[in-house]
Every structure is written in C-alpha cells, then in structure tokens.
C-alpha cells in the first residue's frame, strides 16, 4: 500500500505517494527523473548511487525512499549553482578525474561530505574517504588530485 511522503531534493520539495519497498535510487531516477544518480550494483558495493541526505553521503540503493521522508537530499544535479560548477565538479574536469563518468556522481558527492568534515585532507585521508566508491577506469590517481584541487579552491574562497 503506497505511503505519502514529502522530500526536498536539490532545493525543491516533492510530495506524493511511494511504495514502502521502493528504493531511494529508483525514486530519484524514475519518479523525479534525476538520472545522475546511477545504479551500479544494487548491493551497496560500488557507490555509484551515492547522494547526500541531510548532508551525509548515503548509498541510495540501500535506503527506502520512504525513509527519506522530510529529508533534504542533494544529487549531482543539485551541486552546480547559478550555472557555476561546484569546486569538486570543476576539479574532476580540470584534473581529468573521470573517464567513462559512471562512478563520478557518487565519487563527487562522497567527496563533498569528506570536505565538509575535513577541509584540508591528506592524500591518505582522501583515499580512505573514497574507499566505498569503485572506479573501474581511472586508477584513482586523478580522482585524488581532483579532490585535492577542490579542497584548495574551497579553502581559498
């Protein structure tokens, strides 16, 4: 039986009914058409589905949509402001932190939380902070460089 819910996603409030078993990743992709949140494994292993829920990086394939009732969610589509890329998006562009791009939204959103907690992480802290996100293309070197770039940009602004 569908349940009523209301959630804020990327600054916009959405209300409606959702099946209790409906996963957040599918609610974002299918109901809201925010397809930047990727479905990679459905088992919480790859991190491609990572979004921010009340500022915390969450793998949306492990959370029911109804659990997000009243939450403030940010997806990759909500990071850029006024047509200007977020420092992490810019870092991935400048430092070539992506190849196929499939893992990129989850990597970036995980890194957003990391930099909120630690604005000046070491390379080791960045690597540890991104451990739950898999990239099968880049070997992580440029991803780490992209996060370092963004951290510097965010500290200087």
pLDDT of residue 137: 86
Amino acid 43: pLDDT: 81
Tell me the mean pLDDT in the region 83-100: 94
The secondary structure of 15-43 as a DSSP string is EEEE-TT-BHHHIIIIIS--TTS--S-SS
User: CATH number of 87-156: 1.10.150.120, 3.30.70.100, 3.90.930.12, 3.30.530.20?
Assistant: 1.10.150.120
Mention every residue, 6+ apart, whose C-beta is less than 8 A from residue 25.
37, 39, 49, 60, 61
Reported in sequence order, the residue ranges of 33-132 that DSSP labels E, i.e. its strands, are 50-53, 56-59, 72-74
pLDDT at 44 over 90: no
pLDDT of 36 reads 96
* Predicted model pTM: 0.93
pLDDT tops 90 at residue 53:
yes
The percentage of residues in the chain with a pLDDT greater than 70, rounded to a whole number, is 100
Instruction: Tell me how far apart the alpha carbons of residues 20 and 22 are, in angstroms, rounded to a whole number.
Output: 6
Q: Any idea where the domains of the chain sit in the sequence?
A: 3-78, 87-156
* Average pLDDT taken over every residue of the chain: 95
| Mean pLDDT of the region 62-89 | 96
pLDDT score of 24: 97
Right CATH for 3-78 from 2.40.160.40, 3.40.50.720, 3.10.20.30, 3.40.50.300 = 3.10.20.30
Q: How confident is the model at residue 154 (pLDDT cuts 50, 70, 90)?
A: very high
58 within 8 A of 133, measured Cβ to Cβ: no
- Using 50, 70 and 90 to split pLDDT, how confident is the model at 138? confident
87-156 and 3-78 share a CATH fold: no
pLDDT surpassing 90 at residue 136: no
């Amino acid at each position: 039986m569908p349940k009523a819910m209301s959630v804020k996603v990327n600054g916009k409030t959405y209300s409606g009914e959702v099946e209790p078993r409906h996963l957040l990743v599918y609610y974002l992709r299918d109901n809201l058409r925010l397809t930047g949140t990727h479905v990679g494994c459905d088992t919480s292993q790859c991190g491609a589905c990572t979004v921010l829920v009340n500022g915390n990086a969450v793998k949306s394939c492990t959370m029911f949509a109804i659990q997000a009732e009243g939450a403030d969610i940010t997806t990759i589509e909500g990071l850029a402001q006024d047509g200007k890329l977020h420092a992490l998006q810019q870092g991935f562009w400048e430092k070539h932190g992506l190849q196929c791009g499939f893992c990129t939204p989850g990597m970036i959103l995980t890194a957003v939380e990391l930099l909120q907690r630690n604005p000046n992480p070491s390379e080791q802290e960045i690597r540890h902070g991104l451990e739950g996100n898999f990239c099968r293309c880049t070997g992580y070197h440029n991803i780490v460089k992209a996060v370092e770039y963004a951290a510097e940009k965010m500290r200087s602004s």
